[in-house]
Structure formats: C-alpha cells, structure tokens
Structure 1
C-alpha cells in the first residue's frame, strides 16, 4: 500500500501494543524536560475558541503555501533533477566515484522529499503521484519483489521514464531507487556489469523529476490553481468552501504527519523492546538514511509551523501553546541530535535506544498538541485520522 495519507493500512502493531510501547517509553526515560502547557481537558469549562477573522486565517494559509509548500516541492524537484544527472554520469562512466556521487544525490533527494512529504493534499494526490514517489509501508514486500524481478529479467521496458510510468507505483520511486543503489548487487553499478541496473535507476530518477516538476508547476499556478482555491475559498468549491476548510488542510499536515512518524516510521521498527525490534521495518534502512529522513521530517514541519504563523490565530488565553509546541520541536531536535545512524543498530542497544524512545514520546506529544489542542482552539472539527481508514 502506498504511503498516501488517505486510508489506513493494516497496522504492524495494534493500538494496544502501541500504548504498551509508549508506557514502556515513559518508564525507560527519566528526567525528561516538561512542556510548559496545561492540557485542555484539565481546564475548567470549554476552551475559548479563536476570534481570528477570515482574512487572518487565509493569511496563514498563504504563508504556508508561499513560504513552505512551494519552496519545499521546488527543492524536491531540484534534488530529483540532480539525482537524474548523477545517475546519467554513472551510466555513462561506471566507476566507484560516480557511484558514490549517485548515492549522495539520492541522500539529498530523500532529505528533500522528507521535508515536504506530509503535505498530503492537492497536486501530490493526483494520478497517485505521492505513491509513485514513495511506496510505503510495503509490509508484504510487493515492491521489493517487483524491483528484484525487473533486475533479474532485465525488463527493458523499465529503462525509460515512459515505460516505467506504466508499471506498478511500487517500482517508480524512492524505495525502488534505494534498492538499485544500495540493495543486493548494487556494487556492480561501478562496473560495466551494472549497465541494466543503472539504466533502470536512471528511469526512476527521470520519473521522479517529472513528478516533482508537475507538482511544483501545479502549486506555482496562480489563476485557477490550488493556491488560488485555498486562499480564495468559495461556496461552489467542493473542497475549499470556507477559510476553515483551507486552514484545516494546513493543520492536518501536522496531525497526520506526527501520527505517521509515530505509527509507521518509529513503532514498527522499534518494537516493544530491544529483543522485539524489527529494524528492517525502518524506512530507508538499506541506505542507512532512516535517521536523515526523520530529521528532515521534523525540520520540514517545524519550518512549516514557523513560516505559517498559525500560532498567531490562537485565542489570547491560549497563546502559550505556540511556545509549547516550539518547545517540543526543540526536544525533538535534542533527541535527534543525540542519535547516530544507522537506526538498525540503535534499536538493539539499550543505551542508544533511550534517545529514540524519547523521540517517540515527543512525537506523540506533538501529535496530541496539534490534534487535541491547537485544532479545537482554532474551531476546527477533528475530522478523521489519515491512518484510521474511511
């Protein structure tokens, strides 16, 4: 199943297991910094709802689009183009230096996507673009088997962008490219024996470039595009009738993003203990970029939160929530800064695992702050969890 935040795939760990893991996390980590907030549930009476005007809400929407979403997708498109050039160099001259260059370009591409990937609405949802870029989670190993079959059969139809675009989404994006560059037999790319593998990889980067360019173009379009629809909502628009509809889309990035990090990126690989860890369930474990991706996830959402200025919409009595959220982002930075790749080794080491456990706690806290506090304070309905299904 594609990691597009639409419907919930079957969980690797049921929710009771997740609660047990979080309980264990709190027990394992002591002397944690405390966030300076009071939960809304502990307050007397219903919380005060924002009195922000339509214009103020739409300013936040515009800030997000122009200051974070557009630059984020543009950076991804540029990184895809760089990766495509690096693969072209490798295919033209197979050598260790060019292989290293292609792998470095892939790492940059992963970071660029990870900063913007939780914006799961608008152009990225058209034509399965999100799933084509990143097919995850793949619990049944469908993508892996399909990529391995292409390599084993030397399927020439997978060596052009047009041909690849007709195939399963599982072989078109970052997961497939990771296997090409880091999977079994990848070192052959530095020799003439890796010619087919390289051309397959080049088709993937060309496909990612096309996808990135298309998404960027759609977000850049002014008249009649997604940006105009969200910043000038109309009753006739099925998705964006009011300013709240547009604002809810922005807040949903954080709610769904932190939920996905917790439930799809951290919990499955961590398991409930060192012995129960399943490190191969971490995204990008082959390339040892799991930690780099997580860092970019948090950096991207922190940037989006800051640039959007959504905290300015909070009622005066709850203005402190903005600083509370920033405090938790700092805690996440602290935990991430104490971790070293690869995460596949971290989860099995008691002392190293503690910081990852702390990151899990902070992720859960951030998700609660956005879903249980900021969203209702802005008068937004809870909606549905992107991981809970229809």
Structure 2
C-alpha cells in the first residue's frame, strides 16, 4: 500500500504509528526518518561503556540468579527423594518453576561460556521434534532398574560419567520437568530410579549454572579489553578486536530471540485455528509455564534494550538520530508485556478461540518489534550476520 499525496511525510508517519498499521510500518518509518537528522553510529568508546553496563547490570545478575535458584532446586529435589510426599513434591515443583524462570531470563544470551560443550542445549533441549528426550529418559531409567534387579550387575549411577556420555536431551530442564510433573512414581517410595535421575539432573543443572556464572569473569575481561591487545588463552587470536564487535554479540542476543518467540514459542503451538492448536508443542506445557516463559523472555529483552545505565541500546539509538525507532521499540515491549501479563496460565491443552486471538495479537506486535529492531541495527551500524534459525 502506497502513502497518499494528501499528507506530508511526517504527518503520514505519525498517523500510521498511531493507527498501528503493521503492513505500512516501513513506509511510515521512512517518512518520519526524512525529517530527522542524519544518523551517526555510536563510537567505540560508547560501545565499550554499553558493554560494561550490560555485563554488570544484566548478564552477571541474571546468571547469578540462575545459579542460586538452581542450587535451591537441587536441594529441594534431594529432599523429595529423601522423604517423598505430596508436600515435598510440591516444593520441588515450585523450585523447578523458579529455576526455569531464571533460565528463561538469560536464555537469550547465546554466546560465551554457555556455548562451551553445548551447555545451552544441555540446559534446554527444545523443541524436541522427534521426542528424543522421552526415549532417552526411558532408556536411562530402564538401565537403572535392570541394574538394581541384577545382583551381579554394577549399579547404573547417574553421576558425572553418566552425563558425559548421555544425550543432551536428558540433562536439562525439559527432562526434569517430565520427571517432576508427569511421573507418578516419585512419591511412591524413596530411592526410586525416577527420583535418582531427577536429583542427578537437578544437580547437573546447578553445577552447569554455577560454572557458567564463574566463567563469565573471564568473558568479562575479554570484552572489557576489546580493542586492546587482548588475546585468548593461546595468545594468538584476539577474542574481540573492537568494542563494537563484542557489542554485536549482545545485539544478536537482543534481536534474534524475538523471531523465536513469535514463530516457535507461539505460532507453532497455536496452529491454523483454535481447533488445530497443539499446546503440547509449547515450551513447558507439563508445568503450565509456557506463557510465563515468554513473559520472562520479554522482560529480559526489554531490560537489555533500555534498562542499563549510563547507556542503553535505546539511548544510543536516540543519539544516533533514530528517536522514532527508539520509542516505537520501547512502546512495543510495553504493549507485549501488558498483553502477556493479562493472560492466565494455560492449564487446558485445548486453546480457546479468545486466548488464541489474544496470543495472535501478541505475535503481530512481536513482528513489528522484530522488524524495527533489525532496522535499528542498521542505524547503529551493527551487522548481525548469520542467524542460526535461518537454516531451520
């Protein structure tokens, strides 16, 4: 749709932003930009300041929270196994939800220590389109059960050696969720194979979270030294040549997850109609946390965008001459958060038409947010490069 000649470019841009017409967003955005000063990309000094702010105020506190909540979860699952009851099971489930929410709050950081040994996938192997997790869990439990019944057999232990050889699908939150929320044997008796494995997974999550948080100390040093003669441990390859190169990783962490939220976490389980919705395809349907996961994702991305001081991505965007995009992104984050906050937890696997429509409205705002963020990266002179989701 082309703009009419009866409105000036500025008036047209403002009108369309007010109306929220997604299909004409690009035209409106261009029109308003015509009245703004030419953009000027941030300096390396500004990127350095922003990187430090993001690490100190966003990354480290969130990994610390994940480590703390995961350690608490490990203790709660241990208590469940020591004294199985409906009460200890409820406590463990609550602890799981808290730890998982902490992971959702830092899930968007897909670089640095979390990628070592594919720990990002070990913490959460999802979507599991081929149901590999269920098969691997069954195999692990069968091995433990058979070993315990055979006096001549060496007992199957869910220890570090087990996890070194195990599939990533049995190491993280989805596997533990399956055991805590669908397994009926956890409170039957102490020392069951199911509870032993649940505790082992909780311990593995806790150890992994603690290691990632600790290892960010070195990652922080490398990012802070970007632009200097900083090297990796082999003293041959610079970790980050410039502050803007390091900042690009944070910008990817801001932009790329929006597409996953819209496509994988919402549109996929919503289906083509309410009758065709498949909420079992949502991220954490067993624990009824799928919507809360997305809430945590959006809160984290919003904070990464405008929640740091003295600089934020938003303030850099304004300083670069694109105050329209800066404010539109802020507005979209707030709208999406408000929409998600108004939704109840989905406890029925069949989505009502009303809830589906509410979620579809959220996906429309996510699309506007994604497109505007991508355009903002051009203003900031950030080249995001290859998105791993492009090959999906």
Indicate whether the TM-score tops 0.5: yes
Matched residue, 1:377: 379
Q: What's 2:66 paired with?
A: 76
The equivalent of 1:329 in structure 2 is 333
Q: TM-score, normalised by structure 2?
A: 0.83
1:256 to 1:51, Cα distance in 2 relative to 1, 3 A: closer
Aligned to 2:226: 233
Cα contact 1:49–1:379 (8 A) shared by 2: no
Residue 203 of structure 1 is matched in structure 2 by 200
Match of 2:234 in 1: none
Which residue among 185, 190, 202 is the counterpart of 2:187? 190
The farther-off stretch of 57-66 and 312-321 is 312-321
CA contact 2:69–2:102 (8 Å) conserved in 1: yes
Deviation at 1:137, TM superposition (A): 1.3
Aligned ranges 1:70-109 → 2 under 5 Å: 70-109=60-99
Cα distance between partner residues in 2 of 1:48 and 1:103: 53
1:352, distance to aligned residue in structure 2 (A): 1.7
User: Which residue is equivalent to 1:389?
Assistant: 391
Question: How big is the shift at 1:358?
Answer: 1.2
Q: Which has the larger radius of gyration?
A: 2
Candidates 44, 50, 66, aligned match of 1:54: 44
CA shift at 1:330, angstroms? 1.1
Measure, in 1, the Cα distance between the counterparts of 2:386 and 2:348. Answer: 32
- More relative contact order in 1 or in 2 (CA 8 Å, sep 6+)? 1
Q: Which runs of 5+ in 2 are unaligned?
A: 1-17, 146-154, 232-236
Task: Note if 1:67 corresponds to 2:63.
Answer: no
Contact 2:269 2:280 in 1 (8 A): yes
How much has 1:362 moved relative to structure 2?
1.5
Counterparts of 1:160-309 in structure 2, within 5 Å, are 160-183=159-182, 186-192=183-189, 195-219=192-216, 221=217, 225-234=218-227, 237-308=237-308, 309=312
1:98-157 CA distances to partner (integer Å, 9 max, x unpaired)? Answer: 000000000001100000001000000001110110001110111111112222343653
Unaligned runs of 5+ in 1: 1-30
CA contact (8 A) 2:259 2:367 kept: yes
The CA RMSD over aligned residues, in Å, is 2.5
Distance verdict in 2 for CA 1:158–1:176, change over 3 Å? farther
Note the alpha carbon deviations across 1:175-194, whole angstroms, 9 max, x for none.
110111012xx232122077
Could you tell me how far apart the structure 2 residues matched to 1:388 and 1:288 are? Answer: 29
Contact 1:134 1:173 in 2 (8 A): yes
Cα distance in 1 for residues equivalent to 2:74 and 2:42: 45
Residues 161 and 91 from structure 1, CA distance in 2 versus in 1: closer, same or farther, beyond 3 angstroms? farther
What per-residue deviation string (whole Å, max 9, x for no partner) do you get for residues 305-363 of structure 1?
22341112124531232222111111111210221121654x63111212111111122
Whole-angstrom distance in 1 between the partners of 2:45 and 2:222: 14
The structure-2 alpha-carbon separation of the partners of 1:285 and 1:354, relative to structure 1 and needing over 3 Å to count, comes to same
**Correspondence for 1:143 among 123, 133, 141:** 133
Partners of 2:287 and 2:294 in 1: CA distance: 14
User: Using a 3 Å threshold, how does the CA distance of structure 1 residues 285 and 32 change in structure 2: closer, same or farther?
Assistant: farther
| Structure 2 CA distance for aligned equivalents of residues 158 and 170 of structure 1 | 18
Shift of 1:64: 0.7
**What CA distance in whole angstroms lies between the structure 2 residues aligned with 1:378 and 1:109?**
34
Would the aligned equivalents of 2:82 and 2:191 in 1 still touch at CA under 8 Å? Answer: no
Residues 71-118 of structure 1: per-residue CA shift (max 9 Å, x gap): 111111111101100001001101110000000000001100000001
**Distance across 1 between alignment mates of 2:189 and 2:112:** 42
Q: Does structure 2 conserve the Cα–Cα contact (< 8 Å) formed by 1:259 and 1:367?
A: yes
- CA deviation map 1:269-314 (0-9, x unaligned): 1112112212111011111111111111111111222234111212
**Matched position secondary structure for 2:382:** coil
CA distance in 2, matches of 1:47, 1:282: 44
TM-score, normalised by the number of residues in structure 1: 0.84
The whole-number CA distance in structure 2 between the counterparts of 1:158 and 1:292 is 34
**Equivalent residue pairs, number:** 352
Label 1:41 to 1:117 Cα distance change in 2 as closer, same or farther (>3 A).
farther
CA contact (8 A) 2:279 2:285 kept: yes
Match of 1:342 among 343, 346, 352: 346
Runs of 4+ in 1 over 3 A off after TM superposition: 31-38, 40-49, 155-158, 234-239
